[in-house]
Amino acid sequence: MATTLAVQDLEKTYGSGEDAVRAVRHVSFETAPGEFVALVGPSGSGKTTLLAMIGGLLAPTGGRIVVNGSEVGGAAKRDLAKYRREMVGFVFQANNLLPFLTARENLLVPAALGSLDKRDANARAGRLLEELGLEKRRNALATQLSGGERQRVAIARALMNDPRLVLVDEPTASLDSARGRQVVESLIREVRARDVLGIMVTHDMAMAELADRVLEMHDGEIREHRAGKLAT
Amino acid sequence: MIGLLEIRRRKMQFALIALIVTLISYLVLMINGLGVGLNVLAGSALQNFDADAIAYSDGASVSVIRSELSQATVDAIGKTPGVTDSAPIGYVSANYRRADGKVNSAAFLGYDPGTIGEPKVTEGRALTAEDAGGLLADKSFLKATGLDVGDEVEITFRLERRAFTIVGEIDEGAFFFQPAVYVLRSTWDTLRYGARGDETPAASIVLLKGKGLPGKTGAGFEVVNKRTAFANIEGVSGQQSTVTSLRVFGYIIGALVIGVFFYVLTLQKIPQIGVLKAIGASNFFVFRQILLQVVGISAVGLAISVPLAMVSDAALRRLPDAVPIAFTTGTFVTTSALLLLMAIVGTAFSGRQVVKVDPIIALGQQQ
Ligand SMILES: Nc1ncnc2c1ncn2[C@@H]1O[C@H](COP(=O)(O)OP(=O)(O)O)[C@@H](O)[C@H]1O
Ligand SMILES: [Mg+2]
């Protein structure tokens, strides 16, 4: 079943009074099933804030987020953790693997958090490592991996629990453009192969063009929706 | 699982913590051993009495030094309802010369052969009514004097010197911080009081068997249980409270040190904890990894310190001057369990820290 996401009149204001920052203002959009969306915009425009709310890491101060018909946010912390564990796969900026674990062990972490049994988890980790061209590096410690390898492990980890949503924040921040492009290409390939909804924050237009659709943010608002070049 | 893998991958860091845990638990074990050892020295012979209760003269405040009972009182004690068996015991402290030349005192306990006051002989033979010049010496007495069963030993009391033959060896331990030596009650009588007059006491205390005796009183006597008798040995309560406070400090320091170590480790790992929580780990999951590490490291520490304490115990026993350290299996089990518990208590700081980590830091937008 393809994932649907509807964001309705979403608001996030940090702080209050004179210090209040309206990071996200009246944002509404819907995604098509299995879409890969790029979220672009200048620094400070509210991209990360929006992504964090969709991912259940941050409570909105207004509006709704509906994933597959049920509302996210406003829920108890424990329910949000469950939502993140079962529904969301995150790829953060560089260096978010556990450094003392190998590539393969890092993939097994989400499985240990969830209900995946050990044999299934091992098989799945093996398959993902292969798909992302990491089988030779499976037993390398996270600290011994190159930046590009690390991000590919992070992508594989995000897919371990078979999420409905893959949320990615600046995955190429620490990579040169050639490597960054490879990482984003494999990310999009994996997400499409699973009929999962992908949202990637980037300030790199070249990367954004790889997506099905590009949402552009300015001062907390979505100004432009347009199709990515390669999607047409 | 993640917690244990981390220990394997960061051996040096965790080995250092394990070393500290080892040293602290060794220290606490030795303090506990000292507590047991001092108790043994204070009165294992009293604990070993084959009695359910002990009668003292009523003005003696349960002090074996002050307690003196006349023959009439001894008889009255024996006839107290509920008493099924009884044996008068006389106590006096007399001096002997150790192998190294120093003079020390021994606890001379006078008993009547064939009564429940008779100690178990481990070597040689028991005293008979004819053995006025014989004594049964505790192992510790033989070790201190360097003498053996069959040898003669000179005892001094006030200005009197007397030679005794060591007829048998016993293993009753110490009485009132001195090695226990058993003689006939008639011998004790002449040693303590010299020539017998009408008013001469017949015993210091009376050992009693029977149910429900502690708390009973009668003309000139009171009955207490062994525990009370032991606690009233002069010096025992002060000694025990000292050992107890050392022990409590040991546990608290252990909890603090382990707590601080893991707290610092937890602080260092806040970014990683943020990522774990962002991908859906519960606080409990993260805390469980830390607990696993604490229990693992403490177990390693104890696995080293317990045998170390055993070895130290064996080594100390070889010293000519007995160091009052003794261990029982119970000491090891309860000390280990308590140390483990305190280590877990110490991780409470880390637990608080884990709860405070906001998973959003994984997105790198908050400090
Ligand atoms: N925790 C916070 N507290 C206060 N203001 C914040 C916080 N996080 C972000 N902001 C502000 O919200 C706005 C949007 O930030 P962010 O979502 O990180 O933008 P982007 O990811 O597009 O760079 C910025 O003005 C930023 O300073
Ligand atoms: Mg951002």
| CB within 8 Å: B360 and A86 | no
Strand order, beta sheet including A5-14: A21-30, A5-14, A62-67, A70-72
Question: What's the pLDDT score for residue B320?
Answer: 67
User: How many angstroms separate the CA of residue B46 from the nearest CA in chain A?
Assistant: 58
* Stretch A192-211: mean pLDDT: 90
One domain, residues B308 and B193: no
Residue A25: inside a domain, yes or no?
A: no
Residue B48: inside a domain, yes or no?
A: no
Residue B154: inside a domain, yes or no?
A: yes
Inform me whether the pLDDT recorded for B49 exceeds 90: yes
One domain, residues B151 and B260: no
| CB within 8 Å: A85 and B272 | no
CATH of the domain at A208: 3.40.50.300
One domain, residues B270 and B169: no
One domain, residues B169 and B258: no
What percentage of chain B carries pLDDT values higher than 90? 65
- Would you say how long chain A is, in residues? 232
CA of A186 to the centre of ligand 2 (A): 22
Contacts of B258 (CB under 8 A, 6+ apart): B17, B21, B294, B297, B298, B342, B343, B346, B347
Tens of pLDDT along A103-113? 999 999 999 99
What percentage of chain A carries pLDDT values higher than 90? 66
User: How many angstroms separate the CA of residue B305 from the nearest CA in chain A?
Assistant: 29
Counting ligands in written order, the one closest to the CA of A15 is 1
Residue B112: inside a domain, yes or no?
A: yes
Distance, C-alpha B292 to centroid of its chain: 33
CB A202 near ligand 1, within 6 Å? no
Strand order, beta sheet including A197-201: A88-91, A165-169, A197-201, A36-40, A213-218, A221-227
Residue A8: inside a domain, yes or no?
A: no
Residue B232: inside a domain, yes or no?
A: no
Interface test with B, best of A109, A116, A141, A202 (most B CBs within 10 A): A109
Question: What's the pLDDT score for residue A176?
Answer: 84
One domain, residues B187 and B310: no
One domain, residues B58 and B203: yes
Residues in chain A within 8 Å Cβ distance of B6: 100
Residue whose Cα lies nearest atom 11 of ligand 1: it is: A23
CB A12 near ligand 1, within 6 Å? no
Residue A223: inside a domain, yes or no?
A: yes
Residues in chain B within 8 Å Cβ distance of A93: 363-364
Question: What's the pLDDT score for residue B365?
Answer: 45
Q: Which two tokens stand for residue A22?
A: 């309206």
Inform me whether the pLDDT recorded for A203 exceeds 50: yes
Tens of pLDDT along A107-135? 999 999 987 888 999 999 999 999 999 99
CA of A45 to the centre of ligand 2 (A): 8
Counting ligands in written order, the one closest to the CA of A46 is 1
One domain, residues B220 and B244: no
Counting ligands in written order, the one closest to the CA of A40 is 1
Question: What's the pLDDT score for residue B366?
Answer: 35
Residue B77: inside a domain, yes or no?
A: yes
Q: What residues make up the domain containing B147?
A: 53-224
Residue B302: inside a domain, yes or no?
A: yes
Tens of pLDDT along B140-155? 999 989 999 999 999 9
Q: Which two tokens stand for residue A94?
A: 């560089």
ipTM over 0.90: yes
Inform me whether the pLDDT recorded for A231 exceeds 70: no
Residues in chain B within 8 Å Cβ distance of A57: 278, 359-360, 362-363
Interface test with A, best of B273, B293, B363 (most A CBs within 10 A): B363
Residue B357: name the closest of B237, B271, B262 by CA. B271
One domain, residues B208 and B138: yes
Residue B350: inside a domain, yes or no?
A: yes
> Taking the C-alpha atoms of A42, A43, A44 and A48 in order, what is their torsion angle to the nearest 10 degrees?
100
In angstroms, rounded to a whole number, what is the distance separating the alpha carbons of residues A163 and A5? 14
CB A49 near ligand 1, within 6 Å? yes
One domain, residues B22 and B65: no
Residue A4: inside a domain, yes or no?
A: no
Per mean pLDDT, which range of A4-18, A69-83, A163-177, B335-349 is the poorest?
Answer: A69-83
Collapsing DSSP to helix, strand or coil, B303 comes out as helix
Q: How many domains does chain B have?
A: 2
Residue A129: inside a domain, yes or no?
A: yes
One domain, residues B271 and B303: yes
| CB within 8 Å: B9 and A112 | no
In chain B, residues 260-319 whose CB comes closer than 8 Å to chain A: 271-272, 275-282, 285
Residues A117, A119, A121, A123, CA torsion sign: negative
Residue A16: inside a domain, yes or no?
A: no
Question: b/e for B6-25, b at 16 or more Cβ within 10 A?
Answer: bbebeeeebeebbeebbbbb
Q: How many domains does chain A have?
A: 1
One domain, residues B195 and B317: no
User: How many angstroms separate the CA of residue B349 from the nearest CA in chain A?
Assistant: 21
Residue A130: inside a domain, yes or no?
A: yes
Q: How many CB atoms lie within 10 A of CB A3?
A: 20
Q: How many CB atoms lie within 10 A of CB A1?
A: 7
CA of A210 to the centre of ligand 2 (A): 19
Residue A222: inside a domain, yes or no?
A: yes
Q: What residues make up the domain containing A93?
A: 33-58+76-227
Question: What's the pLDDT score for residue B20?
Answer: 92
Residue A133 zone, left/alpha/beta (φ > 0; ψ -120 to 50; rest): left
Q: Which two tokens stand for residue B257?
A: 């040190």
Residues in chain B within 8 Å Cβ distance of A52: 360, 363, 365
Which of B162, B196, B224 terminates a domain? The answer is B224
Which of B224, B252, B268 terminates a domain? The answer is B224
Residue B264: inside a domain, yes or no?
A: yes
Residue A83: name the closest of A192, A198, A161 by CA. A161
One domain, residues B244 and B270: yes
